[in-house]
Amino acid sequence: MFTRRHAGIVVALISVAVAPAFADVTPIKQQAMTMHYRLELMIGGLEKMVMPADLKAGNVREGEVMVRGVMATPKDTANARHLELHVYAIDKGAAVQDANVTITVTDAARKAITLPIAVMYGVPDGPNDTHYGNNVALPPGNYTIDVTANGEKSTFMVAIPSP
């Protein structure tokens, strides 16, 4: 019989198993401008994801609140990263909370991956930190990251260093 005690043990074991994926990774940050937006790309270590109900219950103080979408779990956990794109309206200086965003990551061998977009914000910052992205495996190497926000395109060139 599966009890709450068993559930607690399973959660503890999963936490230990994924702990290396949450290890500190020096974030990569880049910025680009389009006609109407300032786009900020950030690639860092995996983030703790929480649901809005957890935030409302007062149970969390850190992590990313999922607004829409599903967070991916890369099979290659050793190279898993959290890629996010912040979209700021130039005229207002504020985060765009309802942008239509696409993100395509292309490696040096020209293998392209279109990320499923999840919308989230950081717990400490609230909805003013709304951003778009997902988890993705990015082994060391050079990448081209093409982004579109409400039809406006930009390209980032990123090098993921060896550990």
Residues 6+ apart with CB under 8 A from 162: 140
Residue 120 sits in a domain whose CATH number is 2.60.40.3340
Q: How far apart are the C-alpha atoms of 134 and 132, rounded to whole Å?
A: 7
How many domains is the chain partitioned into structurally? 1
Which residue range(s) make up the domain with 27?
A: 4-160
77-136: pLDDT as tens digits: 999 999 999 999 999 989 999 999 999 999 999 999 999 999 999 999 999 999 999 999
Q: How far apart are the C-alpha atoms of 38 and 28, rounded to whole Å?
A: 17
The three-class DSSP label of residue 78 is helix
Output the DSSP codes for 82-121. Answer: EEEEEEEETTT-SB-TT--EEEEEEETT--EEEPPPEEEE
23-33: pLDDT as tens digits: 467 899 999 99
